[in-house]
Amino acid sequence: MLAASEFSDEEGRVRALERYGVLDTVAEVPFEKIVALVQQVLNVPMCAVSLVDRHRQWFKAKRGLEACETARDVSFCTHTIKTPEPLIVRDATEDPRFAQNPLVVGPPFIRAYAGIPLRTPDGYNIGSLCAIDTKPRDFPETQIAVLDSFAKLVVEELELRQIASSDHLSGALSRRAFTEQAANEAERARRYGRPLSLAVLDIDFFKKVNDTWGHAAGDVAIKRIAETAMAAMRGSDALGRIGGEEFALLMPETTADNARLFAERLRATIEALDIDAPPKFRVTVSIGVAEFDGDAEKIEETLARADRALYAAKNAGRNRVAVAETAKANAA
């Protein structure tokens, strides 16, 4: 049995969820197959892969549920993630935790619930796989065992999804995975009117590194710079390797001014970094920054503006940060 303290690290739990980069993504076949099987095998009208972030539960896959998300404070799954054991509710109207819950007294009229925590390999419950009925019922041990097996499959799919989306050398997102996550964040920024910035980073004179110390040393430089950038990032940020020695950094809830300050700190940190290949050497980077304008452009255009700012930094002497003009100024 796990200690209760292991479920009190909410910030670590949310970061573990965010590392999967799965929130607000489109439907994906493996998860859709799992909920279809849960509905069929357990004979329930509703089921879902529910992921719980700071303020809501969001359904990665669902059957029989209209909403794509609900507030966290009315979520049954919020209770499920607080324990290593399944949460079984035979009749929600007789459970003081749920009797007055709006999801019980109103649509979808939940009466019975069985939820299995989705536990990551590093020990965080990021959500649940749940089966829901509109009438009171028991869930036999055999059904709980089946649901538990399906929950393990959900976590395995999340892990496989992450592996497939990662660059093997640097550990950063692949270009495709970064582009997908950037598009999801752009849609969120546009919908809620929130700031979002991108930065593009390129190692200066990288060909000289390879020519002088060899490609193995160049690989070490790429890996160390990626590690340095990821160590400096917030949990909500994302780093992608979009070219040989080129990275892109996605910064939600960040204006161009704050992105420039972060980029400048990162540039200075990398400049002072000893890269021990061997031999020991140092490199610098040039960085271009652009803020997303949801009213005037697509996220790909923001990335293009950041890329142009990167080359402005290189043309100005390298080892510096440049900020792109706004989308409106570019269009003028």
Residue 294: pLDDT over 80: yes
pLDDT digits (tens, 9 = 90+) for 71-127: 999 999 999 999 999 999 999 999 999 999 999 999 999 999 999 999 998 889 999
Q: Give residue 7's pLDDT.
A: 63
Per-residue model confidence (pLDDT) at position 3:
39
Question: Got the DSSP string for 144-171?
Answer: HHHHHHHHHHHHHHHHHHHHHTB-TTT-
What local confidence, expressed as pLDDT, does residue 287 receive?
A: 98
Mean of the per-residue pLDDT values of the chain = 92
222/162 Cα distance (integer angstroms): 20
Per-residue pLDDT tens digits for 166-206: 888 899 998 888 998 899 899 999 999 999 999 999 999 99
User: Which percentage of the chain shows pLDDT scores above 70?
Assistant: 96
A 10 A CB-CB count for 323 gives: 22
Cβ-defined contacts of 216-223 (< 8 Å, 24+): 216/277, 217/275, 217/277, 217/279, 217/281, 218/245, 219/169, 220/275, 220/276, 220/277, 221/245, 221/275, 221/277, 221/283, 222/169, 222/170, 223/169, 223/170, 223/171
Domains 4-165 and 175-331 in one fold: no
CATH fold, domain 175-331, is: Alpha-Beta Plaits (3.30.70)
pLDDT in tens, 219-236: 999 999 999 999 999 988
pLDDT above 80: residue 330: no
Beta bridge partners of 56: 71
Q: What is the pLDDT of residue 4?
A: 37
Q: What share of the chain is helix, strand, coil (3-state, %, to 5)?
A: 45, 20, 35
286 falls in which pLDDT band (50, 70, 90)? very high
pLDDT range class, residue 1, cuts 50, 70, 90: very low
Model confidence at 162: pLDDT above 80: no
> Of 124-133, 208-217, 309-318, which range is least confident?
208-217
Is the pLDDT assigned to residue 2 strictly greater than 70?
Answer: no
Per-residue pLDDT averaged across 252-256, rounded? 96
The DSSP secondary-structure symbol of 74 reads G
pLDDT score, position 99? 97
Tokens of residue 225, six digits: 């710079």
Is the separation of the CB atoms in 116 and 128 below 8 Å?
yes
DSSP for 252-271, written as a single string: ET--HHHHHHHHHHHHHHHH
- Structural domain boundaries of the chain? 4-165, 175-331
Domain 4-165 has CATH 3.30.450.40: yes
The answer to whether 22 and 51 are in contact (CB under 8 A) is yes
pLDDT of residue 329: 58
pLDDT (tens digit per residue) in 60-69: 999 999 999 9
| pLDDT tens, residue by residue, 146-156 | 999 999 999 99
Mean pLDDT over 36-51 rounds to 97
What percent of the chain has pLDDT above 90?
75
Distance CA(112)–CA(129), nearest Å, equals 14
Decide if 186 contacts 292 (C-beta within 8 A). Answer: yes
pLDDT at 166: 83
Q: What value does the mean pLDDT take over residues 39-52?
A: 97
